[in-house]
């Protein structure tokens, strides 16, 4: 788990160096135990948020983008696919 924190701190440091800001990522703010639900092509997809991973269909993933690609077959921003980074939209896909 410590390695995950170190990677995240390094990522935030690089972002700060480039932009001078550090904004909280919507996906990073989700608490362990949160479930994301997304309907795609008539099928519901459920993702469980854990401390340092995501679980989809009994498999573990490091990012929501990996899961979005698994579902759609195309590259997507995982937070965007699950409706996490659109402040104007209601986050109906989040169940706590």
Within a 10 A sphere around the Cβ of 79, how many other Cβ atoms? Answer: 20
* Residue 66 lies inside a defined structural domain of this protein: yes
* Residue 77 lies inside a defined structural domain of this protein: yes
What is the domain extent for residue 46?
Answer: 26-95
Give the pLDDT band (50/70/90) at residue 1: low
* Residue 44 lies inside a defined structural domain of this protein: yes
Distance CA 59, CA 2 (A): 21
User: What's the domain count of the chain?
Assistant: 1
Give CA torsion, residues 37, 38, 41, 44, to 10 deg. 0
* Residue 16 lies inside a defined structural domain of this protein: no
The mean pLDDT value for 36-61 works out to 96
* Residue 9 lies inside a defined structural domain of this protein: no
13-27, 42-56, 80-94: range with lowest mean pLDDT: 80-94
The tens digit of pLDDT for each residue in 49-72 reads 998 899 999 999 999 999 999 999
Distance CA 80, CA 64 (A): 9
Give the pLDDT band (50/70/90) at residue 28: low
* Residue 58 lies inside a defined structural domain of this protein: yes
Q: What is the DSSP string of 40-83?
A: ETTEEEEEEE-SS-EEETTEEES-HHHHHHHHHSS---HHHHTT
């Amino acid at each position: 788990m410590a390695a995950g924190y170190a990677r995240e701190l390094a990522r935030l440091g690089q972002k700060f160096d480039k932009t001078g800001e550090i904004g909280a990522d919507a996906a990073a703010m989700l608490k362990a135990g949160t479930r994301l639900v997304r309907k795609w092509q008539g099928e519901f997809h459920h993702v469980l948020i854990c401390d340092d991973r995501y679980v989809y269909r009994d498999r573990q993933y490091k990012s929501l983008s990996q899961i979005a690609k698994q579902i759609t077959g195309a590259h997507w921003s995982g937070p965007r696919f699950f409706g996490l980074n659109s402040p104007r939209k209601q986050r109906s896909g989040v169940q706590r």
